[in-house]
């Protein structure tokens, strides 16, 4: 860890706990700061706050009102999920108090070279692909990931050395709170119109994403999707060396797909069909990862080995196992229609689809074309089962079954399947009507598949 004095004797308010807040507070204390933490959850119900208080931190719980700033602070480290219209944050802005994210703090102390990945879609998969490629056959140091992928960057940043590479998944929420963040390689997978409730306008959202390259120089690299004119135009806003990737066009100075094969600067890497995770979106993720790996001098053999074996990030079109000619996939993270449509497009074989979940008040007619093209049979559960049944009937799906939950759906799916079929959990709905989160729903699906087949999930 870099020994910096930036925060010595500074009064710092950490706003919001969870993993990022807890680890930011601990790091700041290690750096000599006077740390106060604030969290809305009452102390009696807040184990993180209790633990920090026991460790000697000043802890304030309850509503984060403007008077929280009356104590006078030199800096606020804000949890990325807290919006900028919270009274305490608005007051900090009025006082021109610096507000940074835990990601910024982590980047200041990390000795490792930084690779950062952002984008509306594909961040987690691309981050994981890059980490695995940089770890494969590595001769010195290690490749690790952290950040929005679920591992606090401020914890990992204290552990990595100058021989290591730290691959960071970075959200727009995190990037807003950066000023000095400077990855050697930055990746922008794509930009759509997400999180406008947080950023207020699309322009603000795009500007947040582009902060990933704001401090890069001509010695750095900006890997960016070239599949729309808007994204190509964004590439002109960086001082870094631009390395494009494209699934639609040949970009000779970057990574691209041509006639079903993946290339980097004219070198054939592998057929796209050999990537283990299905779908055009995963071809794009693979191209981005190939670009980063090639910049870092990773061999083609190592890249191919990773892409042929990587079964996907857990709960995101994750290959679970194959048994009796059926392939089982866990896409529990598909909590909306668009995600399920994307998953279905990734398969050429007939799909037995498991779907349903929380009723958010919308209907599913938009999915009729995807159902018609890809779905052989559908098994439904949860609050939206009847709505999805109506959609499936309109799509002409002849085999429609209703069941209690994900666990009971698995043996039903096997009964309806034939050799060569795909059995896919991709619910198109949130999980909260039956499960605490999508992870639990996916884990129970995997457990049911293992019980049915007598095999263990591939890892």
- Last residue in a domain, options 77, 100, 123: 100
**Which residues, at least 6 apart from 246, have a Cβ–Cβ distance to it below 8 Å?**
225, 226, 227, 254, 255, 256, 257, 287
Does a structural domain hold residue 179? yes
Domain count, the chain: 3
82 and 140 both lie in a single domain: no
8 Å CB contact between 331 and 316: yes
| 120 in a known ligand binding site | yes
- For residue 3, being part of any structural domain is answered with no
* Residue 327 domain-assigned (yes or no): yes
**For the segment 220-265, what is each residue's pLDDT rounded down to a tens digit?**
999 999 999 999 999 999 999 999 999 999 999 999 999 999 999 9
Q: Do 42 and 126 have their domain in common?
A: no
Decide if 1 is inside a domain.
no
pLDDT at 128: 97
**36 and 86 both lie in a single domain:** yes
Residue 6: inside a domain: no
How much is the pTM? 0.90
For residue 2, being part of any structural domain is answered with: no
Q: How far is CA 185 from the centre of its chain?
A: 18
Question: Which residues, 6+ apart, have CB-to-CB distance to 348 below 8 Å?
Answer: none
Domain's final residue, options 286, 309, 332: 309
Which pLDDT does position 198 carry in this prediction? Answer: 87
Residues 161 and 274 in one domain: yes
| 62 annotated to bind ligand | no
Question: Helices 438-453 and 406-416, interaxial angle, to 10°?
Answer: 40
Are residues 168 and 281 part of one domain?
A: yes
Dihedral of alpha carbons 52, 58, 63, 69, sign? negative
**Same domain, yes or no: 58 and 156:** no
Name the stretches of the chain with pLDDT < 50: none
**Which pLDDT score is estimated for 47?**
96
Question: Are residues 202 and 255 part of one domain?
Answer: yes
Residue 199 domain boundaries: 103-309
Candidates 64, 96, 78; CA nearest to 24 is: 78
**What are phi and psi for residue 169, nearest 5 degrees?**
-85, 125
Annotated binding-site residue? 123: yes
* Domain final residue, candidates 79, 100, 121: 100
pLDDT value for 192: 84
Q: How much is the pLDDT for 153?
A: 97
294: closest CA among 238, 256, 338, 247?
A: 256
**Residue 127 annotated as part of some ligand binding site:** no
Are 174 and 33 part of one and the same domain?
no
């Amino acid at each position: 860890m870099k020994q910096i004095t930036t925060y010595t004797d500074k009064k710092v308010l950490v706003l919001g706990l969870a993993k990022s807040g807890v680890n930011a507070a601990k790091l700041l204390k290690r750096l000599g700061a006077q740390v106060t933490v604030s969290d809305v959850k009452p102390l009696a119900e807040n184990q993180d706050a209790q633990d920090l208080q026991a460790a000697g931190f000043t802890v304030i719980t309850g509503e984060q009102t403007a008077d929280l700033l009356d104590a006078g602070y030199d800096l606020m480290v804000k949890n990325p999920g807290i919006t900028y219209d919270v009274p305490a944050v608005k007051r900090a802005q009025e006082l021109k108090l610096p507000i940074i994210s835990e990601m910024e703090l982590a980047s200041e102390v990390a000795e490792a070279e930084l690779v950062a990945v952002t984008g509306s879609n594909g961040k987690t998969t691309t981050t994981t692909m890059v980490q695995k490629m940089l770890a494969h056959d590595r001769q010195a140091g290690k490749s690790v990931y952290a950040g929005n992928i679920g591992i606090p960057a401020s914890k990992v940043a204290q552990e990595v050395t100058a021989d290591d590479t730290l691959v960071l998944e970075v959200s727009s929420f995190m990037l807003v709170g950066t000023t000095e963040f400077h990855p050697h390689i930055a990746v922008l997978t794509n930009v759509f119109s997400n999180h406008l409730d947080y950023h207020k306008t699309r322009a603000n959202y795009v500007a947040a994403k582009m902060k990933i390259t704001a401090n890069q120089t001509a010695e750095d690299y900006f890997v960016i999707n070239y599949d729309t004119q808007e994204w190509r135009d964004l590439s002109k806003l960086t001082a870094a060396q631009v390395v494009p990737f494209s699934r639609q066009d040949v970009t000779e100075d970057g990574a691209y797909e041509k006639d079903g094969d993946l290339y980097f600067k004219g070198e054939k890497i592998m057929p796209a069909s050999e990537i283990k995770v299905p779908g055009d979106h995963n071809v794009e993720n693979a191209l981005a990862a190939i670009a980063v790996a090639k910049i870092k001098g990773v061999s083609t053999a190592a890249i191919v080995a990773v892409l042929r074996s990587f079964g996907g990030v857990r709960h995101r079109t994750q290959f679970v196992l194959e048994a009796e000619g059926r392939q089982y996939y866990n896409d529990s993270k598909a909590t909306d229609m668009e995600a399920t449509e994307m998953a279905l497009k990734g398969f050429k074989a007939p799909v037995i689809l498991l779907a349903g979940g929380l009723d958010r008040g919308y209907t599913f007619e938009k999915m009729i074309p995807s159902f018609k093209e890809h779905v052989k049979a559908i098994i439904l559960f949860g609050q939206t089962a009847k709505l999805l049944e109506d959609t499936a009937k309109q799509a002409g799906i002849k085999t429609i079954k209703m069941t209690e939950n994900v666990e009971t759906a698995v043996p039903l799916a096997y009964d309806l399947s034939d050799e060569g079929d795909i059995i896919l959990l991709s619910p198109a709905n949130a999980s909260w009507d039956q499960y605490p989160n999508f992870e639990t729903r996916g884990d129970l699906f995997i457990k049911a598949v293992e019980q049915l087949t007598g095999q263990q999930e591939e890892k």
